[in-house]
Structure 1
Amino acid sequence: MNPNDLIRSRVLQYLSAIGAGTAADIAALYADDATVEDPVGSDIRAGRTAIEEFYGALSGADCDAELLTLRVSGNTAAFGFRVTTRTPDQVIVVEPIDIMTFDDDAQITSMRAIWGPDDLTIKNR
């Protein structure tokens, strides 16, 4: 598999894990010393343990992630996607753009999520 296809595959694994995986599944896609800045401007989480803690909020949630657009150049991917989370009282939709870098094994080395309040929709059920 060529490097661009490997990165595309990793992005799809990431989105699948957001929708149906655990925090550990998501963190396993990251390199040991990776960083996450979600959203950009917030505290940077460094290392797989901190990253797993960050994604812990998704564990057990009723959500899915849908890829909207994806671009790969060199070791970097930028992609827009939609995450829909359902609670008993609300449906929460966020549409971030993530920029990820990858190592030679397509492990994520950094992730920066670009989104703000205008990219978030909350509907009461």
Structure 2
Amino acid sequence: MPTQEEMKAALQGYVDGFNAGDPAAVAALFADDAVVEDPVGHPRIAGRAAIDEFYANAVAGGAKLSLDGPIRGSHGDRAAMAFTVEVPAMGMRIRAIDVMTFGPDGKIVKMEAHWGPDDIEQ
């Protein structure tokens, strides 16, 4: 199981990769058989090719992430972060909490994005 420091570093790498406009850096944090549910309640995105495409589209939209507080660990294989997504092209802001589950190799195996209609500002 990855350490708290490794999981927190991966989540910081997620934010940094997004903000650098580097979807490959973000997707590289995920296991080949990972699952992304963004937001929770929408169809899941599964597998390397689908995850690569998802992040390529997300980053191409010009979205930027800013943490709303420290990245949080757990006593297990999960870490979470509260953050705000700014999408200037759409004049939109989304407040989200992502919970990532990690595999033994430190790669993300599951990502759950928690945000709903009330968390979007136009």
Deviation at 1:9, TM superposition (A): 0.6
Match of 2:73 in 1: 72
TM-score, normalization: structure 2? 0.88
Which secondary structure state, in structure 2, belongs to the residue aligned with residue 71 of structure 1? Answer: coil
* Contact map agreement 1:28 1:48 (CA 8 A) in 2: no
Which letter maps to 2:23?
Answer: A
Instruction: Give, in angstroms, the shift of residue 19 of structure 1.
Output: 1.7
Within-5 A mapping of 1:79-90: 79-87=81-89, 90=90
Higher-Rg structure is 1
Q: Give 1:92 deviation, angstroms.
A: 1.4
Specify which structure has the higher proportion of strand: 1
CA shift in 2, pair 1:43/1:117, >3 Å: same
Please identify runs of 4+ aligned residues in structure 1 that moved more than 4 A.
none
Query: Could you tell me the percent identity over the aligned residues?
Result: 39
Equivalent residue for 1:55? 55
1:121 Cα deviation after fit: 1.0
Give structure 1 stretches of 5+ with no counterpart: none
2-structure distance, mates of 1:105, 1:44: 22
TM-score between the two structures when normalised by the length of structure 1: 0.86
Determine helix, strand or coil for the equivalent of 1:101: strand
RMSD: 1.6
Q: Please state how far the C-alpha of 1:62 moved relative to its aligned partner.
A: 3.0
1:64 deviates by 1.8
Given that 1:22 and 1:60 are in contact with CA atoms closer than 8 Å, whether structure 2 keeps it comes out as no
Residue 26 of structure 1 pairs with residue 26 of structure 2: yes
Structure 2 runs not aligned, ≥5 long:
none
User: Quick check: 1:78–1:99 contact (8 Å CA) kept in 2?
Assistant: yes
CA separation in 1, counterparts of 2:19 and 2:94? Answer: 13
